[in-house]
Structure 1
């Protein structure tokens, strides 16, 4: 749930608070999840050779700085929220890790996104969970993935057919 400060900042024309997106990418084929953070940085002080300089620690987890774009899903509860994730391919380790993970398991990876204020990194202002990373494409500049939430409305219900063969008490 969003803090009062966040709600006030959203209503304000401008704010001094700096916000960041935290992304966690996990997959059965990864030895460790990928933790990434993106926030606005001063281009004059940005050092691409030292991503730790803009890293963030949130709730005890270190997030490495990577330029990426997480598109907020629509706030329409009637739709299964689908969105996209674009990560700048500044470090080949992300593409290599996802490629290696796909060789271990064809299952989609999972993505969790959280929106935080840098002066209160342990407070998640918004969180998006349960996304599956599908349709991953990459080239030398960018990795793009479609994110979708499994549509539980399409799951068969009940999970089994109630027939006299499976449930003799029905006969």
Structure 2
């Protein structure tokens, strides 16, 4: 939950501080999680150094035909992230944790969101990924359900 001071700062016309977007990308095959911040310089938050890699989000569209999917685009400015991505096994889903903080108080995380990156692609300029909770939405609600296979007598 965001603090009152953070909310008031975002509603001001002349926001003096601004917002930091932190991103942690991890996978069991990575040598270590990748910590980046959407800025041109490195930041330290809660003792963790985040490398400055500008990135953007494209919010999901409201469509009844498909599950909501957000997109992330990270500027491909170095080989650190690409090296980890190139070593991934095929079909791997990355875990991403997005954190938002004020520039004035980067140690106070105002909002956090954990989501899998289900597909990723890269070219010389941009690394693009699809953020989706589709796998969660497709899970069964109950452990055993009645269908012709499990309960043939009632059908």
Pairwise same-fold verdict (TM > 0.5) = yes
- Whole-Å separation in 2 of the counterparts to 1:71 and 1:59: 27
Task: With the length of structure 2 as denominator, give the TM-score of the two structures.
Answer: 0.80
Deviations 1:8-59 (A, max 9, x none): 12221121113211000001210101000113x5xxxxxxxxxxxx211111
| Structure 2 CA distance for partners of 1:14 and 1:151, relative to 1, 3 Å | farther
Q: 2:122 corresponds to which residue?
A: 138
What 5-or-longer segments of structure 1 have no aligned partner?
Answer: 42-53, 167-171
1:36–1:65 contact (8 Å) kept in structure 2:
yes
| Structure 2 CA distance for partners of 1:96 and 1:147, relative to 1, 3 Å | same
Identify which of 74, 82, 85 aligns with 1:87.
Answer: 74
- Whole-Å separation in 2 of the counterparts to 1:59 and 1:82: 30
What 5-or-longer segments of structure 2 have no aligned partner?
Answer: 151-155
Task: With the length of structure 1 as denominator, give the TM-score of the two structures.
Answer: 0.74
Deviations 1:104-137 (A, max 9, x none): xx330110101111221111122111x1112211
Q: Say what the alpha-carbon RMSD is for the aligned residues.
A: 2.4
Deviations 1:36-88 (A, max 9, x none): 0113x5xxxxxxxxxxxx211111211111111134568xxxx9653111111
Secondary structure class of the residue paired with 1:10: helix
Q: 2:109 corresponds to which residue?
A: 124
Q: 2:133 corresponds to which residue?
A: 149
Whether 2:83 is the aligned partner of 1:99: answer no
Q: 1:47 corresponds to which residue?
A: none
